[in-house]
Structure 1
Amino acid sequence: MPALTSIRTSEGKLEIVNQLLLPHTTKFIEIKNVDDAFDAIKSMKIRGAPAIASLAALAVADHLSRGLQSTPVPEWLGSVDALKQHVETILAYLFTARPTAVNLGAATRRLSKTLQASIDAGKDPRAVAQDIVAEAKEIDAEDVGRNKQMSKLGGDWLVERVKSGGGDGTQLNVMTVCNTGSLATSGYGTALGLITYLHETGKLQRAFYTQSTPYHQGSRLTAFELQSLNIPSTMLCDSMVGSLFQHHKIHAIAVGADRIARNGDTANKVGTYNAAVLAARHNIPFIVVAPVSTVDLDIADGDSIPIEQRPAIEACLVRGALYPTALDAHGVKQQATVMVTPEGLDGVYNPSFDVTPASQITAIVTEKGVAVKKDGADVFDLTPIV
């Protein structure tokens, strides 16, 4: 099976795989403008904090590149002031698509800084725009390398921890939540990257993953990625985590993050907090794996992390392939959306994320290192790894 990817650029086109159709249909859709990018992020056609940051950056680069090649020249390239207003409006707009994912904000702020630095250097509008395009492409390109680095750091840390407890550091069983692989990033992944690294180095016995309802990123996307990588794996319903811990030897839980506060409190896919509490009860290490851009040093703790509330209808619907399998006239699996609740429910609680307190987290891994709490501390000092 070919390597999975969430974003591709070729022949002057920016495209994403529509993750709402996976795993049964792999369909790339073109992102023709900034509005397309906003819709793709908001509707979760693309998801995963690093991936949406990459898409936002590439959409800005594509928009500016088209303007630089246009005849006549767009008004917003007529002066530095016009360009600044135009770009800042776009960045502010894209930032609102998924407010919890700090990577998106980090990317827009980084492009804003590039904009201002180029202006301060006295460059003309075209040169400023070209600097922003280059920076946007770098935001996307650097993701794969840092993912591999943090996956190695986290994987090696876990192996050494198991060895320090008397194990041999092999035949490890690691559970994850949601999807944090190539489909959630520009490649390789964060928490799923750690699992992949353990598999590649012969240290993994089996990966376990939750379905991660109501969007089923685990059963749709993580399952698809693990299958494509030939990694032995087992799916479980979100409500089965406690049972898994009771009856199977699990060496660690590895999860990603959408935002990490200064003290280590971490927002991630809803259901992560449940897994962390159960992991603490069973003395299982709980590892957060995320790039430096996910750490938000501007907020002290998780109380300041905005939690996105998704539309109620999303928790009432399930989309998938018809079973038994039915093909359309083009040989493609037919899919359908069905309602699994009574119509007209007057109360649906549907947060997209929850916050796991630092006290429930064993280690936080970025591409710069692994942070653990000092003896007796309930919070992290993240300054060495950001």
Structure 2
Amino acid sequence: MAPLISIKSNGDKLEIVNQLLLPHTTEFLEINSVEDAHDAIKTMKIRGAPAIASLAALSVAQYLTRGLKASHTPDYLQSQEALKLHIDKILAYLFTSRPTAVNLGAATRRLTKLLDERVAVGKDTRTIAEDLIAESKAVADEDIGRNKEMAKWAGEWLLQRVKEQRLDASQGLNVLTVCNTGSLATSGYGTALGMITYLHETGNLQKAYYTQTAPYHQGSRLTALELQTLQIPSVMICDTMVGSLFQHHSIHAVVVGADRIAKNGDTANKIGTYNAAVLAAHHKVPFVVVAPISTVDLDVTDGSQIPIEQRPPIEACLVRGILYPNEGDTQQQVQVMITPSGLEGIYNPSFDVTPAELITAIATEKGVAVKADGASVFDLTPIV
């Protein structure tokens, strides 16, 4: 079956799959402006740190492409100063859409750096715009290749660890993951889910388990759709059942993605990840983070400095799905409130931070980092 995709880009036409409607309805939304991209990211129509960065960059490429094609040259293309001021504002605006995912900041900084360099050497505005378009597209295009690299690094590391510890893997490995980290969260293949896919493709996976992190989060439903599409044997569990899973089933590893990794290895990921890490540590199950280099933020010393996005309280009270039982071919989607109206004091963070001491390994496209003997934090230098 064809892999799922989160973004379609062709010339100056840009579309995303509306992840709020998945897995029951596949609807592509046109992105016709930077404002559309900002809204799609903020309202979680698109999610996953790499996919967010790709959409933001591609919306800049679309904006500049249309400016270059315009019958009348836009004001911002009249001079280098006007172009820099205008694009800087756009990049700053896009950065505000989701504060935790560092990939978005990495993408906007990358474009800012290129803009500054081209202005400094005195290139004309149209050439600068063309260079920015190429760089924006590269942000998205590079994602698939590096995902496959990190997935292989992580998968081979786990296979070697299982072999060294002489664990029973005669039927293949059983791996638990949290949230969605596949093609719908990236530009393709995936990070943590990419590792699971790699194990499946190489005949080394028995079963993938994935958690339902909260009623309103789409992570579990998107993961279900991706694993079903890839025909990977899998089981969904509620996040409160992870401990029971470890007690009664042989789990070889927990593998997760990341929205930001601090210099010491502390990792921010979808809410519920920390819970799984604590339980994994108690049951001596390896806990592996798989993420691109762009997710590592060396300017952040530890997890206490990672900004945690607080979602609107109402989101914790709502769940979306199709009517059940559902008769016929029509799959009517509904959104319902699962709590009493007017609740106060709702705690609704979108992410939590797993401390480095609970993480066994961190894999990027450059390799796998583990802690030195006796250390509680990572040296990420070799893999960034």
TM over 0.5: yes
2:53 aligned residue = 53
SS state at 1:287 partner: strand
Task: Give, as a single letter, the amino acid of the residue that structure 1 aligns with 2:28.
Answer: F
**More deviation, 272-281/164-173:** 164-173
* Cα pair 1:25 1:332 within 8 Å, conserved: no
2:114 aligned residue = 114
Distance in 2 (CA, whole Å) between partners of 1:146 and 1:216 is 26
Query: Structure 1, residues 222-241: CA drift from partner, whole Å, max 9, x if none?
Result: 00000000000000001000
2:21 aligned residue = 21
SS state at 2:214 partner: coil
Equivalences for residues 114-153 of structure 1 within 5 A = 114-153=114-153
SS state at 2:145 partner: helix
Distance in 2 (CA, whole Å) between partners of 1:235 and 1:182 is 18
2:318 aligned residue = 317
2:246 aligned residue = 245
Distance in 2 (CA, whole Å) between partners of 1:45 and 1:247 is 36
Query: Structure 1, residues 271-320: CA drift from partner, whole Å, max 9, x if none?
Result: 00000000000000000000000000001000000000000000000000
CA shift, 1:326, in A, is 4.8
1:276 aligned residue = 277
Equivalences for residues 332-343 of structure 1 within 5 A = 332-343=330-341
SS state at 1:346 partner: coil
* Cα pair 1:175 1:208 within 8 Å, conserved: yes
* Cα pair 1:173 1:251 within 8 Å, conserved: yes
2:374 aligned residue = 376
The question of 1:267 aligning with 2:273 is answered no
SS state at 1:182 partner: coil
Distance in 2 (CA, whole Å) between partners of 1:357 and 1:97 is 25
Distance in 2 (CA, whole Å) between partners of 1:2 and 1:21 is 19
CA shift, 1:101, in A, is 0.3
The question of 1:350 aligning with 2:348 is answered yes
* Cα pair 1:144 1:187 within 8 Å, conserved: yes
2:294 aligned residue = 293
Task: Give, as a single letter, the amino acid of the residue that structure 2 aligns with 1:320.
Answer: G
1:219 aligned residue = 220
* Cα pair 2:288 2:360 within 8 Å, conserved: yes
Equivalences for residues 164-175 of structure 1 within 5 A = 164-167=164-167, 169-170=169-170, 171-175=172-176
* Cα pair 2:290 2:363 within 8 Å, conserved: yes
* Cα pair 1:322 1:336 within 8 Å, conserved: yes
CA shift, 1:120, in A, is 1.4
CA shift, 1:168, in A, is 6.1
Distance in 2 (CA, whole Å) between partners of 1:77 and 1:98 is 29
Task: Give, as a single letter, the amino acid of the residue that structure 2 aligns with 1:128.
Answer: I
Task: Give, as a single letter, the amino acid of the residue that structure 2 aligns with 1:220.
Answer: R
* Cα pair 1:153 1:367 within 8 Å, conserved: yes
Distance in 2 (CA, whole Å) between partners of 1:241 and 1:21 is 27
1:93 aligned residue = 93
Distance in 2 (CA, whole Å) between partners of 1:126 and 1:166 is 61
SS state at 2:231 partner: coil
Distance in 2 (CA, whole Å) between partners of 1:326 and 1:372 is 52
CA shift, 1:121, in A, is 1.8
SS state at 2:285 partner: coil
Which structure 1 residue ranges, 5 or more long, are not aligned? none
* Cα pair 2:12 2:65 within 8 Å, conserved: no
Query: Structure 1, residues 180-206: CA drift from partner, whole Å, max 9, x if none?
Result: 000000000000000000000000000
1:201 aligned residue = 202
SS state at 2:188 partner: coil
2:4 aligned residue = 4
Query: Structure 1, residues 50-92: CA drift from partner, whole Å, max 9, x if none?
Result: 0000000000000000000001110000000000001000000
2:383 aligned residue = 385
* Cα pair 1:160 1:169 within 8 Å, conserved: no
CA shift, 1:215, in A, is 2.9
Q: What percentage of aligned pairs have identical amino acids? A: 70
Which structure 2 residue ranges, 5 or more long, are not aligned? none
CA shift, 1:213, in A, is 1.1
Distance in 2 (CA, whole Å) between partners of 1:117 and 1:213 is 44
Distance 1:59 1:11, change over 3 A: closer
CA shift, 1:169, in A, is 5.0
SS state at 1:55 partner: helix
Distance in 1 (CA, whole Å) between partners of 2:217 and 2:380 is 31
- How many correspondences in the alignment? 383
SS state at 2:184 partner: helix
Q: Root-mean-square deviation (CA), in Å?
A: 1.0
Distance in 1 (CA, whole Å) between partners of 2:75 and 2:215 is 44
Length-normalised TM-score, structure 2: 0.98
Distance in 1 (CA, whole Å) between partners of 2:219 and 2:84 is 41
Distance in 1 (CA, whole Å) between partners of 2:169 and 2:107 is 37
Distance in 2 (CA, whole Å) between partners of 1:123 and 1:55 is 26
SS state at 1:52 partner: helix
1:78 aligned residue = 78
Length-normalised TM-score, structure 1: 0.98
Distance in 2 (CA, whole Å) between partners of 1:144 and 1:222 is 18
Distance in 1 (CA, whole Å) between partners of 2:260 and 2:67 is 33
Distance in 2 (CA, whole Å) between partners of 1:126 and 1:271 is 47
2:237 aligned residue = 236
Distance in 2 (CA, whole Å) between partners of 1:213 and 1:199 is 27
CA shift, 1:12, in A, is 3.5
Task: Give, as a single letter, the amino acid of the residue that structure 2 aligns with 1:13.
Answer: K
Distance in 2 (CA, whole Å) between partners of 1:26 and 1:342 is 31
SS state at 1:51 partner: helix
Task: Give, as a single letter, the amino acid of the residue that structure 2 aligns with 1:236.
Answer: I
Task: Give, as a single letter, the amino acid of the residue that structure 2 aligns with 1:378.
Answer: S
* Cα pair 1:362 1:373 within 8 Å, conserved: yes
Distance in 1 (CA, whole Å) between partners of 2:12 and 2:139 is 18
Query: Structure 1, residues 16-39: CA drift from partner, whole Å, max 9, x if none?
Result: 000000000000000000000000
